[in-house]
């Protein structure tokens, strides 16, 4: 059965390229000009330069055409997910919708699966997440991801359908753990970029990754996640990738903050809004998340790096 990808940014295009190795794939670009350009050049020049679009990948600016397939991958930023669903609620209502975004919605504190459930109660929701850069997937480099779906049968089906030659999918029914891990690791990547940008060293980064992981666990377990999910690809795996690679946009924002440089606001950086959403949620749930709180203040320019480090180091000593 064919698949469509909604959202023709870096990740949507990369997934469509990889899946085209299995059979026909339709990539939906909401902007007709962009759809035309993709068709004409057979390349996503802006987001994935140098990677040709394979023959089996067709482009459309018609959501009706894209939604002729039952399985639809939603590759838009987290803060845009709800508007995509609301704008096309009739067309998407009974589809199998695989969210490919990482984050927590600012106004509601919800992750992608919860937003799907709330906006389209008759759709079948799933989540594709884990350590992967669009550029790596598009070039056919080996990648392993998590397919999370509460419905175990559907999860198995999607695992089969979305696994490709170079993209190996593991499945879980723990959608809460998968979405929390994917959302919160971006916050930690901003923190890690900031310490490296400020020249504070690899030891400080290791400390942040480890204590950041403890924060991720605290929040995820309080929301009902299973600990082993956090230790898997969608949590520990993605934390490792994003906190240690210059390719990560979240890490790049952190680097810019640490160096006192400006950062292009049009670049998708999920961790910025998610830090705010997670901080509000942590306050509400009375969960201690000092790194997340610090990232919120750094991104909001209410704290300097020096003060951030001083505050974190001055916290009361405790058991690990």
Ligand X SMILES: O=C(CO)COP(=O)(O)O
List residues near ligand X by CB under 6 A. Answer: 102, 131-133, 186, 189, 238, 241-242, 248-250, 270
What minimum distance in Å lies between the beta carbon of 119 and ligand X? Answer: 23
- Is 102 annotated to bind a ligand? Reply is yes
Known catalytic membership, residue 286: no
133 contributes a contact to ligand NAI by CB under 6 A: yes
Residues binding ligand NAI: what is the number (CB under 6 A)?
A: 24
Q: Which of 46, 55, 156, 185 is catalytic?
A: 185
Give the footprint of ligand NAI on residues 15-34 (CB under 6 A): 30
Q: Which is nearer to ligand X, 125 or 182 (CB)?
A: 182
251 contributes a contact to ligand NAI by CB under 6 A: no
- Taking CB under 6 A as the criterion, the residue among 4, 5, 12, 196 binding ligand NAI is 12
78 contributes a contact to ligand NAI by CB under 6 A: yes
Question: If you write DSSP's letter for every residue of the chain in order, what string do you get?
Answer: --EEEE--SHHHHHHHHHHTTTS-EEEE-SSHHHHHHHHHHSB-TTTSTT-BPPTTEEEES-HHHHTTSSEEEE-S-HHHHHHHHHHTHHHHTTSEEEE------TTT---HHHHHHHH-TTSEEEEEESS--HHHHHTT--EEEEEE-SSHHHHHHHHHHH--SSEEEEEES-HHHHHHHHHHHHHHHHHHHHHHHTT--HHHHHHHHHHHHHHHHHHHHHHT--HHHHTSIIIIIHHHHHHH-TT-HHHHHHHHHHHT----TTS--HHHHHHHHHHHHHHHHT---HHHHHHHHHHTTSS-HHHHHHHHHTSPP---
| Span near ligand NAI by CB under 6 A; candidates 65-73, 96-104, 256-264, 307-315 | 96-104
- Taking CB under 6 A as the criterion, the residue among 3, 5, 10, 191 binding ligand NAI is 10
Active centre residues (catalytic) = 185
| Positions that interact with ligand NAI (CB under 6 A) | 7-12, 30, 47, 75-78, 80, 83-84, 100-103, 132-134, 268, 270
């Amino acid at each position: 059965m064919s698949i469509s990808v909604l959202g023709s940014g870096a990740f949507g295009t990369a997934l469509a390229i990889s899946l085209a190795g299995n059979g026909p794939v339709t990539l939906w670009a909401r902007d007709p000009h962009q759809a035309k350009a993709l068709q004409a050049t057979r390349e996503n020049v802006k987001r994935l330069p140098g990677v040709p679009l394979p023959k089996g990948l067709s482009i459309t600016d018609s959501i009706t055409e894209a939604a002729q397939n039952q399985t639809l991958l939603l590759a838009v930023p987290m803060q845009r997910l709800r508007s995509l669903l609301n704008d096309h609620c009739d067309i998407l209502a009974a589809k199998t919708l695989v969210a490919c975004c990482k984050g927590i919605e600012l106004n509601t504190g919800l992750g992608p699966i919860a937003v799907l459930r709330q906006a389209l109660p008759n759709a079948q929701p799933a989540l594709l997440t884990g350590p992967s850069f669009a550029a790596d997937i598009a070039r056919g480099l080996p990648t392993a991801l998590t397919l999370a779906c509460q419905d175990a049968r559907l999860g198995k089906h999607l695992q089969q359908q979305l696994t490709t030659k170079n993209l190996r999918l593991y499945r879980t029914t723990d959608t809460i753990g998968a979405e929390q891990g994917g959302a919160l690791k971006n916050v930690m990547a901003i923190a890690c970029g900031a310490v490296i940008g400020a020249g504070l060293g690899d030891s400080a980064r290791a400390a942040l990754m480890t204590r950041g992981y403890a924060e991720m666990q605290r929040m995820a377990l309080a929301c009902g996640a299973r600990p082993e999910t956090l230790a898997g690809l969608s949590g520990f795996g993605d934390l490792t990738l994003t906190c240690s690679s210059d390719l990560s946009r979240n890490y790049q924002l952190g680097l810019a903050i640490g160096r006192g440089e400006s950062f292009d606001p049009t670049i998708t950086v999920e961790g910025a809004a998610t830090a705010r959403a997670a901080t509000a949620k942590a306050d509400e749930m009375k969960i201690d998340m000092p790194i997340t709180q610090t990232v919120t203040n750094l991104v909001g320019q209410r704290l300097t790096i020096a003060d951030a480090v001083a505050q974190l180091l001055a916290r009361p000593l405790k058991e690990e």
